[in-house]
Amino acid sequence: MKEPYQIRNPVIYLVVPKNMTYVEIGGIFASGMNGYLKFADQKTRERYTNKALLARFNLSDNKPNFVSVSSYIDRLQKSLWQTVIMFGAALAILVVLLLLLVLILVMIYKQLNREEIAVKKFLGFSPRQLYALPLGVIFLTGAGQLFAAGLLRSKVGLFVLPLICLLQLSLFYLYVIKDSFNDVVELFKGE
């Protein structure tokens, strides 16, 4: 496209309902940088949008509103920042829900295999041997998520997923190790 974006002698396009296209009708409602009129500077804008000139063409009742590029960009940056915050909050909520889900699954596993775990603990099995299945599931899902993030070339995924996996493992470790000896004692006391 070799046509200039700014010219010194602009052509004014007179639009009436009979010669408007659907795009031009949409342009009537456009605000900001989406409209048809763009001025090189503040002086030019004031020159062509003063009240006397608008009144001469019976346009003063339309009250056109023109914004500077900097205020338009500021609004875009604010909306972009709000979007980033919203997605960050959604990601944080999902991480918390994921951690709670892992905790619930470990609690269920621990409760279902309570006697077997207590006997094996009493016999000297390590926590890694006792909880091989839940640990395997955590590692396998973490590896699958990292693989999918790598295939999709997600930089955020490659950064966040190892952190989530570490959080899951640390939560798992804290829950499993906490009161592990007391669980064995209580189980043998009850029987």
What is the CB neighbour count within 10 angstroms for residue 95? 15
Domain boundaries, the chain: 17-67, 77-190
Instruction: Identify the DSSP state of 12.
Output: P
Q: Which residue type occupies 85?
A: I
84 vs 178 pLDDT, higher one: 84
User: At a CB cut-off of 8 Å and minimum separation 6, what does 98 contact?
Assistant: 164, 168
> Got the DSSP string for 36-92?
S---SSHHHHHHHS-HHHHHHTT-GGG------HHHHHHHHHHHHHHHHHHHHHHHH
Q: Is the pLDDT of residue 189 over 80?
A: no
Is pTM, for the whole model, over 0.85? no
pLDDT in tens, 97-150: 998 998 898 888 888 888 888 888 878 888 788 888 888 888 999 999 999 999
- Give the 3-state secondary structure of residue 157: helix
Query: CA 63 to CA 150: how far, in whole Å?
Result: 53
Q: If you search the block for the tokens 């609690």, which residue do you land on? A: 107
